[in-house]
Amino acid sequence: MKRTLLPIALTILVAALCACSTVGDGVEGWPHVIDAGDSWIPAPGYTFVSAYNDHNYSVRWEPGKQYSYLHKIKWPHIYASYSEGEWLPDPGYSWTTTDKSGTPIPGELSVRWTPGKSFAYQGHIAWHNITAGAAEGTWFPDPGYSWAHIDSSGRVADYAVAWTPGMGWYSGQKLEHPHVLASDPENIWRPEPGYRWTHVDSAGQTTDWVVAWTPGQLYFDHLGENKWPHVQAAATEGSWTAEPGYEWAHVPPGHNLTVIATSDPRSPSGRERALHQHWMDYLKEIQATNNYPNWSGPPADLFRIIKD
């Protein structure tokens, strides 16, 4: 009887050892290794410890690795966390489906692009002060910031940004709050010259970002400096005028809003007064010497009449 059972037992054992596993199944004796049909490969998130040892299929968890299953990306835009067995969305993406705690549901690791999200990697902000744009894969500096590194062709070299005094309040490519400019230090904002905060609290702090053109307001730039002394906002929004007793040093002023006292001999008014005085002295001289053949009467007297 024993001789009859022994061959049968051996046959069963050999058959079990030679049986081929199904593609996608785990490999017995090698944790986190799966059968890919023509080879054995690491499970998603893992990599072989020794890539060139055909007899060693030990694996280790590899943070940052994409979710690849049977040589294909099964769940796009996610990567292995530092914690073994856990996954995170790529920067700018969020889990599509989660439980009440915000954890993705097992077996459902799809993600969606999330405009306005910060650039986080492995649970930490990797690039500060930038935000996901409306179009998938795009990033923009936060309001008041601009790209710090631009190459010779005008392209962004990396995601570093710098606070940029004088820059408008842009959200992405949209001017969100008109006539509000970045100041100094960082994260301080001021109204554009000629404007003031519309709504302020009892401490004089703005409660929103609304501004209004204010005729008569002096020209203070985005740094709070009186860049053009004796220049004030005119009645028409966006236009400027010299304070009483002053006039433009350059007419028309254009972008140069330098003014000069009207009493200054170098001012346009001063030069006009000087020219008028020289002309009057000349007329008095020829009138006193009775040397004015081309005039119908005493020239100095006639000029006074015309001017009056």
13 assigned to some structural domain: no
Other CB atoms within 10 A of residue 43 CB: 18
Total domains in the fold of the chain: 1
Of residues 190, 188, 209, the one with CA closest to residue 198? 209
CB distance 142 to 170 below 8 Å: no
Mean pLDDT of the chain: 88
DSSP letters, the chain, are -HHHHHHHHHHHHHHHHHPPPPTT-EETTEEEEEE-SSSEEEPTTEEES-TT-TT---EEE-TT-EEEETTEEEEEEEEE-SSTT-EEEPTTEEESSB-TTSPBPTT---EEE-TT-EEEETTEEEEEEEEE-SSTT-EEEPTTEEES-B-TTS-B-SS-EEE-TT-EEEETTEEEEEEEEE-SSTT-EEEPTTEEES-B-TTS-BSSS-EEE-TT-EE--TTS--SEEEEEE-SSTT-EEEPTTEEESSSS-TT---EEETTSTTSHHHHHHHHHHHHHHHHHHHHHTT--TTSSS-HHHHHHHHH-
pLDDT at position 158 is 95
Answer whether residue 9 shows pLDDT above 60.
no
Answer whether residue 14 shows pLDDT above 80.
no
303 assigned to some structural domain: no
In angstroms, what CA-CA distances link 42 with 15, 22, 78, 87, 188? 26, 15, 17, 16, 51
CA distance 218 to 256: 15
pLDDT at position 254 is 87
Answer whether residue 285 shows pLDDT above 50.
yes
Q: Is the peptide bond before 191 cis (omega within 30 degrees of 0)?
A: no
In angstroms, what CA-CA distances link 286 with 108, 275, 281, 295, 305? 104, 17, 9, 10, 17
In angstroms, what CA-CA distances link 109 with 21, 77, 114? 27, 10, 15
Report pLDDT digits (tens) over 23-73: 656 678 899 999 988 888 999 999 999 876 667 899 999 999 999 998 899
CA distance 270 to 259: 13
Answer whether residue 305 shows pLDDT above 60.
yes
Report pLDDT digits (tens) over 197-207: 999 999 989 99
37 assigned to some structural domain: yes
**Bridge partners, residue 154, by sequence:** none
140 assigned to some structural domain: no
pLDDT at position 101 is 87
The dihedral built from the CA positions of residue 166, 168, 169 and 172, taken in this order, carries a sign that is negative
25 assigned to some structural domain: no
198 assigned to some structural domain: no
Of residues 55, 82, 40, 104, the one with CA closest to residue 32? 40
Residue appearing with tokens 């009207």:
262
Give the residue ranges of DSSP H helices in 155-298. 268-288
CB distance 281 to 275 below 8 Å: no
pTM of the model: 0.74
Report pLDDT digits (tens) over 233-255: 999 999 999 999 999 988 888 89
Residue 48: domain span: 30-113
- List the structure tokens of 69: 């299953």
User: What confidence category does residue 1 fall into, taking pLDDT thresholds of 50, 70 and 90?
Assistant: very low
202 assigned to some structural domain: no
261 assigned to some structural domain: no
- List the structure tokens of 271: 């030069």
Average pLDDT over residues 71-91: 96
